[in-house]
Chains A and B, each alone.
Chain A
Amino acid sequence: MSKRDIRIVELPEVTVRIAGDSGDGMQLTGSQFTSTTALVGNDLSTLPDFPAEIRAPAGTTYGVSAFQIRFASSDILTPGDESDALVAMNPAALKTNLARLRKGGILIVNEDAFSERDLQLAGYRSNPLEDGSLAEYELYRVPVTRLTEEALKELNLPFKIVERSKNMFALGLLLWLYDRPMDHTVRWLEQRFAKQPDVLEANLRALRAGYHYGDTVEAFTTRFRIGPAKLPPGTYRNITGNQATALGLVAASYRAGLELFYGSYPITPASDILHELARYKNFRIFTFQAEDEIAAVTAVIGAAYGGKLAVTGTSGPGLALKTEAIGLGVMLELPFVVLDIQRAGPSTGMPTKTEQADLLQAMFGRNGEAPVPIVAPATPGECFWMVLEACRIALTYMTPVLYLSDGYLANGSEPWRIPEPEELPDLRPRFAQEPNRDGRFLPYVRDPKTLARPWALPGTPGLMHRIGGLEKQHETGNVSYDPDNHDFMVRLRAEKIERIAESIPPAELEGDPDASLLVLGWGSTYGAIKTAVERLRQRGYKLAQVHLRYLNPFPQNLGEILQRFGRIIVPEINLGQLVRLIRDRYLVPAEGYNRVRGLPFTASELEAKLLEALTQGNGSPGGRNIHG
């Protein structure tokens, strides 16, 4: 098409960040770029980064919405630290995102949005496009607004539609720059705006205008090509953690042969799971938007008592409200799953930002001795598998189970190998059918192996029983205040949770088994830790990594692994929660590395920290926290 000579450079990987006003459609642009990137076969990882305000005043720094994607021709695990290219739709976006662009990186700005007022709103004293402050970057000043208006001129559309189409111009330009086809986005737009031909036409024109702009404008002399990644054979789709969690629940319901009841109260970032599940009614899925968090979890207890697969989902502050009911679940010994999509706290905290700081709440946040198993996925795709595990544990051991995802996993995405339904575990429960003791039914007679009590459904003749939150006599379940019985029952319930360790996979040691430094992590930090560890190993250092998906109980071999290492570093996006549990349980001198900025770790910061530990000499400082 182009008559110019445009160089095409092959790259192994690229990180692109687009940022604009929260009304500019940046998340949409990012996710569309992501879909296309997935379809051309790259491995990828994304990081949406948006404000809590629905639509903050235009042009302000607190209204900036950004989306970062890293894509590669090899296996990657994080959305990248610094970006190679940044699209800034206005000065506020430039101001808040420039620090994450590497020196020498490509910087595309919408120069039309750099008016005096825009600059002032963003807090610039002088225009950065003019004052030389961007000299270290490869700056492209693109009149995005004007070019979009031009492209749509003859459609005579209202200004609002024209204004809203400029994100498609930016997307077109990015697709051109990274040599990706437009057809996928075209199909998507045709579907989305099938009923609004005007808007469809506007978006298509803007998209094409952006693409051809790259082709024709002399400024751009290079395009980049990133070849497909070699992933294990299979059929893939791009999936976010919340989508994977929702699909995992549908799959669990199917494999358990039980209708799913999902009770939830809207809260960021868990709401998408409710939205997703609400669409799957033909899978016999019942979603219940409760009046509050307490109603959500207690309705779930009612559904579990009724013999269904019962799940509630929330985020940190919502988990706090659910704690009393989870304690009731511990006493009733009914199976249900509590999803906590962690966000930055405490209290309302930073709702759209990520954190891993609910671990101790999950572990201990109830009155009395009320142990609950805890699982945590490490990547968006793993959310599917770990929620199935949460359901398996709940149904096998008759207990509430806590599942800890977080904002980063919830909204981040990666290519996911789709399993065949028959690859999934069989979760069919066995319901009590008949009396279990001398012609009577005792609700707390236990399975000798799992210590689970029988699940007897109301409506079953002959199995009538009454249970509640009051302490119960061993086996009969009758209310009991006998001191020895209480001591016995408390220990018995704890023992039941401990026994879950017999059914979970052992902790897996990655890296060098003979290293002296072990990095221990959990949840969404996996990608950053793994990347940092691998980079250091490639530089010749020896180190090993263990990533926990099971936090209560811990895998049976964990203690033995920990004993082998002279030094254990536990990076967490909190002030040291797993590290406390580890030190307490195994009496090893584990050290925390803690950052609580509402953002995932970058591989580089971890790499630097671990390098420091590796080169500090042999004297292990032991037992102290490294706060940042």
Chain B
Amino acid sequence: MEHQPAVTPSGADGIVETIFRIESPRIIAGVTRVVRDVGIAEELAQDALVAALEQWPRDGVPDNPGAWLMATAKHRAIDLVRRRERYARKLEEIGRDLETTVPFEEPSDPDDIDDDLLRLVFTACHPVLSAEARIALTLRLLGGLTTPEIARAFLAPEPTIAQRIVRAKRTLATKGVPFEVPYGPDREARLGSVLEVIYLVFNEGYAATAGDDLLRPALCEEALRLGRVLAELMPKEPEVHGLVALLELQESRAAARTGPSGVPVLLRDQNRRRWNRLLIRRGFAALARANAVSTGAPGPYALQAAIAASHAQAYTYEDTDWRQIATLYGLLAARSPSPVVELNRAVAVSMTDGPGPALAIVDTLAAEPALRDYHLLPSVRGDLLARLGRTREARAEFERAADLARNERERDLLRARAEECR
């Protein structure tokens, strides 16, 4: 522990890496525009980092380190493109054709950096890649996470993630995915693909057991940061703000979601004083932005955010406006029907119309293949049966739910509920 005030000189250890981490998404984006290949762009960005590590400790950190790194990386990119062009011309002279020639482009001016960053987002989240590949590439290129960090967060072996990233870059190159923001008829689907990546990253962290590895819950914050960046890059897209609102509101409950020993705490039992008011306010602000730029009916993310907002507005569980929540789930079910949405609607209905009508909804889901291994179906059903006084059936459901739960602590909770039904 340092107790003496120490003045850290510029160019000290770690400063270069910190600056690089802040700047790298923009540098990779700017360089990709020149070389049209995210893999090569990432290597050139790394070259610029190496140059900085050599020069800055000796000459001091430049006044505008981001611009320095960008200029260095782009300079190398332009050299590379020129070499390729010369090579292509030489081949032409001897009557052969090169498969791919990259047109040389003037480097963009600083105002274009945002556009390049947005192009990079759409490229890393391109639907030609699997969801897994999109997630790994996005965290790497835009989140600035290292391969080991991604591997740890996803509980996957490092070589697997490294392979996944290499293959993703290769796929983008071989399929000739253009480095652009889609404006055509496929724009909505392409944006959906981007939002899905951020949502999946968040959920990976959200579903993780707290405490066994901090990198997993940290995925929630990575996703939130990516969402906040995207909201500034695409301020006119209501669903981007809808997603950010949903994540801000979900994250506001993080401190209350687990008890001292890491036991999950149900919404009903959470200490709402531990909900983060700043994040709740930000969630409401994002939802207001979504509504302000929306021209039609609210999209699925905005609807889910509205549901989360409804919960956030209740200072106690008893204050929850279940009728509003049930209505919102109804809208969501009409907009993007899914068994999980229907299950959640059943929970809200049970709070307004009682467990009977809710059980009727749940029983229509019994045969849903999508919910076959979903522990929350028997868990909700058990809860409804218990409230109807059908304890023996309830117990069987809680036991089934416990067997299906993938999270140790959730399993304990469900076993305890089963025990109560004696």
Q: Do the two chains belong together in a single complex?
A: no
Q: List chain B positions with a Cβ less than 8 A from chain A.
A: none
Q: List chain A positions with a Cβ less than 8 A from chain B.
A: none
